Chain A
Amino acid sequence: MKSVINIALPKGRLGEKVYDMFEKAGFDCPSIRENNRKLTFENEEKGIRFFWVKPSDVAIYVERGAADVGIAGKDILLEYRPDVYELLDLGIGKCRMAVAAKRNFRDNPARTLRVATKFTNIAREYYAGQCRDIDIIHLNGSIELAPILGLSDVIVDIVETGKTLLENDLVPYETIVPISARVIANKANFKFKSERIEAIVEGLASVCAENKA
């Protein structure tokens, strides 16, 4: 019996878009559209099984081999640096990792910069590249609040349209890196299921090409 390919999808809007791409590529699983409390959805005939997980957990499932393939944002891959293959850029879920600050912010390089963020590794690496001394303030949400209340000088966060920033009188200051959804695969599992994982990646790549056209 051939084993199943386990696919971890990120919960939420992005994940649904991603599933649409899988469906278009011929890797569908009708039961996923049913509204029920099931956690995993299998298409036995095609030998694939989908499951929804928290977007930031996808990389963990894949790195540890519970999922063979997963879809994760580049932000998560840069932050956690999982030891996985990054096989394809899906070109969806596009946004950027940026530094933002209050409109009237002026950087004083002589002072330690206070940076509030959820992405401490990305922020640390970015400022280390500039030899800048920073004070990292790790927050789990409402990052935009930090500069408003004077908790930090700047924030490092994902910016999609910049609308939330604008509403809070913040502006994007500099872009660190563009972000989009990537197809990742467990390195060891890829060795034993390479043909089938390749077929999935190729299918998704052609859907990407169609989307672009």
Chain B
Amino acid sequence: MTLNDNMLKSGEQAVFELRALYQRYGYTPFKMSKFEEYDLYVENKDFLVGDGVITFNDTDGKLLALKPDVTLSIIKNSKDGGEGIASKVYYNENVYRISKSTHTFKEIMQTGLECVGDIDVYAMTEVVLLAAKSLEAISEDYILDLSHLGLLSALVEKFSVSEADKKKIIACVSEKNAHGLRELCASIGADAEFCEKMTALISAYGKPAAVLPKLRALNAGAAAEAAIDELQTITEALERVGYGDRVNIDFSVVNDMSYYSGIFFRGFVDGIPEGILSGGRYDKLLKKMGRSSGAIGFAVYLDKLERFDEHENEYDTDILLLYEDGTDVCELMHAVSVLTKNGTRVLARKNIPEHIRYRQLLTYRNGGLEILEIGD
């Protein structure tokens, strides 16, 4: 059977394309059970996107959870491989989280990939490229925003800001809120130079060629330089393979710095009002779990594509075929199977249902088909 594009919802279609894409780059599928021990999530609560987890007791009394996340399970099941070894896996799983809009639990389809082990710049670049290609598979009109938490923490650490203030500063950066940042700096008595540099960071976004020199001008020390070098290498490599014009640098893309450390990115497609792809380097999570490996990965939130069907079906069926009681079943069956042969959708009924849109209205009478109506 051949699949007609129109038959697949955007999300389903994307799953097929993404699976093939990740396999082409040597990623192998990771399959997990629906349940995971609850302890895993308690220990790493802040790594999860939302708070709630659905829990239940197994027959032996053990507390289990319906998985709210896949990454933690992948990390748990991976091993530190030593120099030059990294395991590359992708997944397509349902996760259970509290929906931001309904405040109730929701089953969400998620696809993503993780690269765990000895992560070098090539591995990072490949993950970022796959993120760009994933977005491209969903829509031609996409943007991938890159930031680097190494640069952000280098700045914050250089000027020794307290942990509580750090959170507020990061919040301002994520809102592009320069006026708020200035007020905050004044109220906590932060260094004027720090305030100036953070404001510069907020306004530095756009094409890498324009933004990277501005970042260098911040003069934020060796750790920051290393972060900017990484950004430069990655963006240049993406440019080389033709993905340069869709990649921007933007430091409003941030995440919890107690888990994420290096490069961080978020993907957007025109027409969906929020990010649909999010990922980055999260070595600190592994460190917390007592591991020596590094890790980078991303997830695509396929549930957000639900309202994105570009070519939504205008018609419920192509042909509405009416027949009467007593029609010869063999003949009718034959007529329907001929009509459906080239992919046409046929709904055979004895009457016209309410609120239905069809391209053609046919009737089967006296052993033959008759067109009653065309179009709607």
Q: Which residues of A contact B (CB under 8 A)?
A: 63-66, 83-89, 186-189, 191-192, 194
Contact = CB atoms under 8 A, between A and B. Distances in A.
Given A63-B273, A83-B274, A191 B177 contact: no
B17 interface: no
Contact of A86 (B175, B273, B275): B175
A contact face: mostly helix, strand, loop, or mixed: mixed
Interface in B238-257: 248, 252
A194 B205 CA distance: 10
B358 interface: no
Interface residues of B, number: 17
Nearest to A90: B179
Nearest to B182: A89
Contacts, number: 41
B274 A188 contact: yes
Contacts of A65: 272-274
A190 B272 CA distance: 12
Contacts of B273: 63-66, 186, 188-189
B176 interface: yes
B268 A84 contact: no
A88 B175 CA distance: 10
A195 to B, nearest CB: 10
Give the most central of B176, B248, B273: most A CB within 10 Å: B273
A4 to B, nearest CB: 14
A146 to B, nearest CB: 27
30 contacts: A65-B272, A65-B273, A65-B274, A66-B273, A83-B274, A84-B175, A85-B177, A85-B252, A86-B175, A87-B176, A89-B179, A89-B180, A186-B273, A187-B252, A187-B274, A187-B275, A188-B268, A188-B272, A188-B273, A188-B274, A188-B275, A191-B143, A191-B145, A191-B248, A191-B268, A192-B141, A192-B143, A192-B268, A192-B270, A194-B206
